[in-house]
Structure 1
C-alpha cells in the first residue's frame, strides 16, 4: 500500500496565467488551473494547441515567459524563479516510456530513489507488485511487451512519491486491445498515491475515461474547463462540440427569439434578431421515426415536426449503424446513429426527428 501522505489543504498543483512564446508566436496564453491530491486533469486538444508546452512549464523542463507554478503551496516557477524538475517533486511519463535499455526493470524503477539499499528494494518490490510485474525485476526492457514497458515506466515515475504526476500521451504507443486495461490500472494506482495528475491527450475518449476535470485547449488558450459530463453536454461553441463527436448542423435565422427549421421552431433567446444561428445535434440524437415510415408526417407536441430525408449511405460499425440522409428541405446531409444493425438501401425515404433537449444553439460564424 502507498505510504500515507500528510493531508494537503487545497490544491496540490496551482498554475496561474502561464504563457510561453517561441519565435514571437504565443504557444500558450494566460492558462490557469489547479489540481487537488488524487485528481486527474486532462489537457485535451488538437496537435499544436499548447498542451505539451503547458506540461513542460509545470515540470520545469520549459521556462514560462509569464505566470507562476506552485506545488503544495510552494512557488517553483515565477518571476526570477525557475526550479529544475528534480527539485519540484514531479513525476514524468512520456509516450516513448524512456526506459534505460542497459538497466534491469528493478534498476529502472529504483533509478530516481534516494534511500538505502533495503528501502529501495522494498519500494521497487511494492511497485512491481502493484503494476502486476512481480518477478520481472531481473529482466531488461527489450524483453518486455509494450504494455509491460508502460507499467515499468509508471512504477519508475511513482517510486519517489512525487506530489505531481505529469503524463504526455503515455498510452499512445499501445495497441487498442491493451490500452483500456492499462489505463484503468494506471488510474487506480495514481488515485491511491494521492498525486495531482496532469495528463496530456488529443483523444477525447481517453480524457472522458480518465479525467476528473478536462481542460479543452485551442490555439494556446483554454477554451473550456469542467467535469467530463459538463464539457461534453454543455460545449461552449460548435468546435468544442465537434471535438468530442461527429455533429449535424442545421442553419437558420433567429427572429423574435425563435428560429424556424424543418423540424419546427426552436427557442433561440439571446441571439440577435435576424442573426444567423447554427443548431448542433449529435448523430445519436437524430431519430428515425419508424412509426411514420412511408406514411408522411403526423407531428405531436411531444416529438415536434419530422422532416423527410433519403438514405445516401449506411454502414455498420459493430455497436451501431451510421446512416446518412440527404434532406428534402435543403439537400444537406444529416447523419443518424442507430444502435445495432440498420442498413437501409440507398434511396430509401424516411422521416427523421431530433431530440430538442440535446441540441446546442450557437451564433453562426
Structure 2
C-alpha cells in the first residue's frame, strides 16, 4: 500500500514574540493540496503574523514550516521567500501603477515572451479582463484590480497561495461574486490556500477547513459545519453569531433555569454553567399552549418575556425581550416580518438540541 502524500503546507509549533510577548504561540496547522483553509479570528490575534512567517517575510522564534514534506524554514535553516513556491495576495492589491494590466500579471514570470503572454492572456480571460490587458490599474474598478492581483499571484503557478483579507476593500455588493470567482479559479489551479479573515461569513463561504484563532493560538480547527455546530467554548459561539446565555448551578448533572432543566453530564454538583443558544433557536408563542409566529419543537418550560424592541432586518425580524423572571435581555429572530409592540407579553421556548453547555467563566 502506497504512503499517503504529505500535506502541501504544514506548520509545526510556530512562535513569534515581540517585546517578550508571544503574539503567535505554538500554532500548528496543515493544508492538503487543493484545499482552502481560513485562519479566522479578531484583529490582533496573530493571523497576519502567522501568514508573514509562512511567506518568509518574517522569521519565527520557534517552530518549523514544511512544503510538500520538505523543510523550508526553522530557526536555523531558511529557504528564501522567492523559492518557496508560495504566492501572496494582500488587501491593498499592490499593483504597479506604471505597468499595464498585462505587465502586472507577467511581472513574476520567467521564460519566453510568447509563453508569458499566453499565460497572462489565459488568466485574464478566466477572470473576464483580457480586454483590459493593455490598460493601467487606475483605469479599473476595485473589483477589477482585485482580479488582476489574483491573476498576478497565480501566474507563476504557486503550490500555495497566502491571502490576507483580500476582499476587505471591496464594496459589499461585489464581495460574494468575487469570492466565488476567486474560489473557482484557485480550485482550478489546484493551489492550496491559506486565507486570513476576521469575517465568519467569508470563512464559512470559502473554507474547506477553518482554524479559529484567539490571543495567538488556534483554539479550534475543523470543517465549517463542525466549527459552527460543535464550538469549543462560549467565545467560539459568539464569534459566529449573536448569542443568548443562561447561568445555572448544577445539581445531579442537571442545571435548573426558567426554561426548565438542562443536562450537564460530567459537571460536578455546585458548579456553574452557561447554557448558550442562538436567537434563531428561540420559539415565540402567544400563549402557553404553543400558538405563535415561530414554531419550534416544544421542550422544557416556556418562560414569559416582554417585548423591549422589534426590528425588521430584511429577511428576518429581531425581537428583544425583557425576561419576567430576572429582568435579563433575550434575543430571538423570526423569518419574515414580525413586529410586536413594546411591552407585549409573549412566551418563549428554547431548542434543546441547539443549546451548548459550557463551564461558567465570569
Q: Tell me if both proteins adopt one fold, taking TM over 0.5 as the criterion.
A: yes
Q: 1: distance between equivalents of 2:298 and 2:69?
A: 54
Aligned to 1:22: 18
1:335 paired residue among 331, 334, 342: 331
**Residue pairs, 1:131-150, within 5 angstroms:** 131-150=127-146
Question: What is aligned with 2:318?
Answer: 322
Which residue, out of 302, 307, 319, partners 1:306?
A: 302
Deviation at 1:304, TM superposition (A): 1.9
- Unaligned residue ranges in structure 1 (runs of 5+): 1-7
Q: Which of 79, 82, 86 in structure 2 is aligned with 1:86? A: 82
CA distance in 1, matches of 2:291, 2:122: 67
Asked if 1:209 corresponds to 2:205, the answer is: yes
Match of 1:5? none
1:181-206 deviation line (CA, Å, top 9, x unaligned): 00000000101111110000000000
Equivalent-residue separation in structure 2 for 1:242 and 1:112 (angstroms): 42
3-state secondary structure, aligned to 2:237: helix
TM-score normalised to structure 2 length: 0.96
Q: 1:267-314: per-residue Cα shift (whole Å, max 9, x none)?
A: 011212100110000000011024647999xxx995221110000000
Instruction: Report deviation, 1:18.
Output: 0.5
Quick one: distance in 2 between partners of 1:161 and 1:355?
48
Please name the residue that 1:259 is paired with. 255
How do 1:57-96 residues align onto structure 2 when only pairs under 5 Å count? 57-96=53-92
Contact 1:61–1:84 under 8 Å retained in 2 = no
CA–CA separation in structure 1 for the residues paired with 2:213 and 2:48: 11
Local SS of the residue matching 2:212: strand
Q: What is the TM-score with the length of structure 1 in the denominator?
A: 0.95
Q: Is the 8 A contact 2:298 2:349 kept in 1?
A: no
| 8 Å CA contact retained: 1:294, 1:350 | no
2:271 corresponds in structure 1 to 275
Q: Name structure 2 gaps, 5 residues minimum.
A: none
**Is contact 2:34–2:191 with CA below 8 Å preserved after alignment?**
yes
Distance 2:111 2:278 in 1: 54
C-alpha separation between the residues in 2 aligned to 1:84 and 1:106?
A: 26
